Chains A and B, each alone.
Chain A
Amino acid sequence: MLRVENLAKHFDAVKAVNHISFEVHQGEILGFLGPNGAGKTTTMKVITGYLAPTEGRIFIDDKDIAEFPLDAKTKIGYVPESFPLYDDMIVYDYLRYVAKIRNIPADKIDARILEVGGLANLQSVIGRSISELSKGYRQRVGLAQALIHEPEILILDEPTDGLDPNQKVEIRNLIREIGKTRTILLSTHNLPEVQQMCDRVVIIHDGQIVAKGTPEELGQRSTGNNVLTIELDKHYVDAADRLKFVDGVMSVKPMGHGGEDADPPTGFTIEYRKDAEIRPAVFKLAVDQSWTLMEMHREEASLEDIFQRLTTN
């Protein structure tokens, strides 16, 4: 329901967004992932109508937002980065103000405030001045104002930015809940968040899209191999060589700094084929050789990996 076609945004010589195209389908939560400065916020500012594109077009429900700006803005709920609000207002007054600007009929305003206030858990602060609120509550007021007119699509710029871990969890659950009935486009540079919340991911770097897909698809694209790390009780001279013979193992590397003064390694990083399961064989090898296996940890191909590979030059 949101389509970005060949979008480019230049600020003088800087190409903040350099010809990107993507779609957000009805009812999905799309994660816009990228390092700081990649162009996520700029893209969102163009979609919400604050900035005009240098090139390209944006369609909401197949209507060009350049031709039908007010129509598009009616369908969007936006929470910008750092959730800017009017500090001098009381939460209730602020929501009332947004409701009026959003053309909600006067007799429905209180009901809507009640509803979004309940959804965003603002009951305890509804009468407080916004300047007194913690970041977590400010974020929720931001979400409430974005939802008050029941928009078709929510656009959230780094919704968990600056929140403490508990608040992050709360907001993620809230977003997932909201996502059941609405389309959401959110940006983040926090990978676990993406895996927890998003149906699909678009990875952006230096103003260009470098990957698109579901978190699983992208995870599979990362390395061809998996990694198993093991730790033995002490150094065994032949351990590395014996491990190499386990079926499926591609390489065995000792863990640790190396160097002449370093302790001889007791741990190894074993790279093995994706479809292989080497843990039972490694365990059995340890038993046969009378090694004591202290730790065995499997690292699967991850989103983190592909993110790093695609976004570092």
Chain B
Amino acid sequence: MRNVWTIARRDFIAFFHSAMAYIVVSVFLLLTNFFFFYSFFVQNMADVRNLFNLISIMSAFFAPAITMRLIAEERRSRSIELLLSFPVTKLQVVLGKYLAAILLFSVMLGLTLIGPITISAVADLDWGAIFGSYLGSLLLGSVYLGIGLVFSTVSRNQLVAVILGIAACLAISLGVEFARVLMEGAMASFFDYLGVMSHFRSMSRGVIDSRDVIYYLSMSSFLVALSVYLLDRESA
């Protein structure tokens, strides 16, 4: 809907009006590329899988950083009161901000292409796997962004939002992985499905399984709905 796009556009541009976007993107790229290339030459193989493992971990930290001010800041400055007096629905507001966050995240992801492209100049890479990995990274990132959005909605304080967001993202990835290793049988496969990492792993092999895509889209939808519900509770 047009309103979603109007809001998304404004919030996306707003990222670049503060130092936020520049810092988050550049530090993300710096750290990711540093750690990747640190071990890359030692390996002596044209294999970029490590890059995506790094991206998936970094995302857990940087996605909440992107989303932290989306709604928390509006509530703190009370501009949310004015925004919600416009002829827009709460869903449009949440979707608009979510979309802005995803766009920024995509820019960040896109810039990591510089690694694979450089490497492909001297070696053959499995671009199918790389495509699957990027798609998986985007979907994974969207879930992390969704989590960050939820915390931005409930806290007035950006710092609280980012810390809780990171904690939740780590819980749903590494935490679940940990649980899965400890559990056996049915519980293990329950955690296997619930966690974001197993789906990411299968996508990085280059296999775009609809089950994985559906998982990510369902999680994202759930988180958006949760944000709308929490925003609604504010005014009830």
Residue among A45, A80, A88, A98 having the largest count of chain B Cβ atoms under 10 Å: A88
CA distance A101 to B87 in the complex (A): 7
Where the two chains meet, the residues of A that have a C-beta atom closer than 8 Å to any C-beta of B are: 45, 48-52, 70, 73-74, 76, 78-82, 84-89, 97-98, 100-103
Chain A CB within 8 A of B43 CB = no
Chain A CB within 8 A of B211 CB = no
**A50 touches which of B2, B88, B235 (Cβ 8 Å):** B235
Contact B79 A85 (CB under 8 A): yes
Q: Looking at the assembled complex, report how far the CB atom of B130 sits from the nearest CB atom of chain A, in whole angstroms.
A: 36
Q: Given A52-B235, A101-B7, are A80 and B87 also a contact pair (CB < 8 Å)?
A: no
- Tell me the interface secondary structure of chain B in the complex: helix
Residues of the A chain whose Cβ atoms lie less than 8 Å from the Cβ of B89: 70
Contact with A along B1-28 (1 / 0, CB 8 A): 0110011001000100110000000000
Contact A102 B235 (CB under 8 A): no
CA distance A303 to B36 in the complex (A): 74
Contact A102 B78 (CB under 8 A): no
Chain A CB within 8 A of B86 CB = yes
Contact B82 A76 (CB under 8 A): no
Residues of the B chain whose Cβ atoms lie less than 8 Å from the Cβ of A70: 87, 89
**B81 touches which of A74, A84, A101, A102 (Cβ 8 Å):** A84
Chain A CB within 8 A of B119 CB = no
Nearest-CB residue, chain A, relative to B88? A101
CA distance A80 to B17 in the complex (A): 24
CA distance A50 to B85 in the complex (A): 6
Contact B79 A76 (CB under 8 A): no
CA distance A292 to B109 in the complex (A): 89
Nearest-CB residue, chain B, relative to A85? B79
**A84 touches which of B6, B79, B88 (Cβ 8 Å):** B79
Contact A89 B17 (CB under 8 A): yes
Residues of the B chain whose Cβ atoms lie less than 8 Å from the Cβ of A85: 79, 82
**B79 touches which of A45, A48, A49, A86 (Cβ 8 Å):** A86
CA distance A48 to B7 in the complex (A): 19
Residues of the A chain whose Cβ atoms lie less than 8 Å from the Cβ of B14: 86, 88-89
A88-B17, A101-B3 given; name 20 further pairs at CB < 8 Å.
A49-B84, A49-B85, A52-B235, A73-B87, A78-B85, A82-B78, A84-B77, A84-B79, A84-B81, A84-B82, A85-B82, A86-B14, A86-B79, A88-B14, A89-B10, A89-B17, A97-B10, A101-B86, A101-B88, A102-B87
Interface positions of B from 66 to 105, Cβ below 8 Å from A: 77-82, 84-89
Contact B82 A80 (CB under 8 A): yes
Residues of the A chain whose Cβ atoms lie less than 8 Å from the Cβ of B84: 48-50
**B82 touches which of A52, A78, A88, A103 (Cβ 8 Å):** A78
Q: Looking at the assembled complex, report how far the CB atom of B122 sits from the nearest CB atom of chain A, in whole angstroms.
A: 43
CA distance A86 to B15 in the complex (A): 12
Contact B87 A74 (CB under 8 A): yes
Contact B85 A48 (CB under 8 A): yes
Residue among B77, B78, B80, B87 having the largest count of chain A Cβ atoms under 10 Å: B87
**A100 touches which of B6, B77, B82 (Cβ 8 Å):** B6
Chain A CB within 8 A of B236 CB = yes
Q: Looking at the assembled complex, report how far the CB atom of B156 sits from the nearest CB atom of chain A, in whole angstroms.
A: 14
CA distance A84 to B236 in the complex (A): 22
Residues of the A chain whose Cβ atoms lie less than 8 Å from the Cβ of B87: 70, 73-74, 101-103
Residues of the A chain whose Cβ atoms lie less than 8 Å from the Cβ of B88: 101
CA distance A284 to B193 in the complex (A): 100
Interface positions of B from 201 to 223, Cβ below 8 Å from A: none
Nearest-CB residue, chain A, relative to B17? A88
Contact A76 B85 (CB under 8 A): yes
Q: Looking at the assembled complex, report how far the CB atom of B232 sits from the nearest CB atom of chain A, in whole angstroms.
A: 9
Residues of the B chain whose Cβ atoms lie less than 8 Å from the Cβ of A84: 77-79, 81-82
Residues of the B chain whose Cβ atoms lie less than 8 Å from the Cβ of A45: 81
Q: Looking at the assembled complex, report how far the CB atom of B70 sits from the nearest CB atom of chain A, in whole angstroms.
A: 13
Q: Looking at the assembled complex, report how far the CB atom of A226 sits from the nearest CB atom of chain B, in whole angstroms.
A: 44
Residue among B3, B17, B80 having the largest count of chain A Cβ atoms under 10 Å: B17
